[in-house]
A and B are shown apart, each in its own frame.
Chain A
């Protein structure tokens, strides 16, 4: 008969090397799901937010409803948002993605709109005077100038999404949140702490990556500072 193992797993310690090595694959899969859910949601949010922001700027009557509806969506607590989508999507990853898209919309629409509105009228007139049509004006002048504000919104939306994915554990698609949820039910300290720390690391890494992307996309802002 063998003695029970006396390692950090058996003692249920917060920090446990044996947990990291033995559950490496589980952690990797959960982190991958976490990143996928975040990336897909934020990208869909971005694709939807741009036309909404453009519409809100183009037609004054559209600005109120667009901003109003997105603000109301943002006020609804995440657990309630996922629950309200349950009849539509069932217990699926789409439910988590749809909920996160709705949250990122508010931040993205607001920031893109603020960026577009901050483009100086003189710049616009100068571009028109040079013979720029409306499409070229938008793509070559207005969108690049709105980029810093839009990227600020994208960074906040991404970091928030990383944090909110964990709530997806309620439907079984929460990335690292699944490990936190399972760890809570079994009082598995190492699993809860490791998954939580990984969540924060993913959020910080995503934020830094977007900051780097912003620098690469807006080289003209660097000389100013």
Chain B
């Protein structure tokens, strides 16, 4: 129990929140890495997944890439990138590794979502004379949206976790509080950092879950339409 009070004391010490290595700086870095990499990953993965889902090809690739992503250790990729020329480019290894691990869940979920759209609805839309792009944007994407958003949520949580591990390989973010705590042999700081990281991850997960519940109603779809 003593460690918990020590961690609490560490967290409530105002000096730990400010300055170059302060919590606010690390939180900002973590948020920045997560948001920027999520945007890059979406720009890379979603068009590919929507296109493959629309033409109905490349399913094996889109589904298996998630299994491959699970077998490759994040830490190994981070260190490998650090030792390549990318490593000399500041946060380069972190950003590349984060994107690499966020793309698979986005790709798999968006592709599966597109393929699970009721084919009768697709045929009806074609029969009404919809063109390919119209069909994609007005029928398939809205119906696939729940699973596309699930992919975005999984990718976001994955990004928060990977950004934490990046601290082991010299990257910024909240993980640095933990690694610094280990270097100082300060259990209080390690636990305080871990609490911050866990809270950050749970908040991200919670925000996306709320967004997922609100999204269909914002698009004017009733619950029955997506089921």
Interface residues of A (CB under 8 A from B): 72, 75-81, 83-84, 86-87, 156, 159-160, 162-164, 166-167, 169-171, 177, 180-181, 183-184, 187, 189, 192-193, 195-196, 199-200, 203-204, 207
Q: Which residue in chain B gives the minimum CB-CB distance to A193?
A: B80
With beta carbons under 8 angstroms apart, the residue of B70, B79, B178, B187 that contacts A79 is B178
A77 neighbours in B (Cβ, 8 Å)? 160-161, 164-165, 175, 197-198, 201
Q: Which residue in chain B gives the minimum CB-CB distance to A202?
A: B71
Contact B79 A180, beta carbon cutoff 8 Å = yes
Q: How far is the CA of A203 from the CA of B77 in the complex (A)?
A: 15
Instruction: Tally chain B residues at the interface, Cβ within 8 Å.
Output: 39
Q: Which residue in chain B gives the minimum CB-CB distance to A71?
A: B205
Contact A166 B73, beta carbon cutoff 8 Å = yes
Produce 1/0 per residue, B92-111, CB < 8 A to A. 00000000000000000000
Describe A's contact surface by its main secondary structure. Answer: helix
Interface residues of B (CB under 8 A from A): 3-4, 67, 70-77, 79-80, 82-83, 157, 160-161, 164-165, 167-169, 175, 178-179, 181-182, 187, 190-191, 193-195, 197-198, 201-202, 205
B187 neighbours in A (Cβ, 8 Å)? 86-87
Q: Pick the 4 closest A-B CB pairs, nearest first.
A: A83-B194, A77-B161, A196-B76, A87-B3
Contact A86 B169, beta carbon cutoff 8 Å = no
Instruction: Report A14 CB to chain B, min CB distance, Å.
Output: 8
Instruction: Report A189 CB to chain B, min CB distance, Å.
Output: 5
Contact B167 A84, beta carbon cutoff 8 Å = no
B160 neighbours in A (Cβ, 8 Å)? 77
Q: How far is the CA of A183 from the CA of B82 in the complex (A)?
A: 11
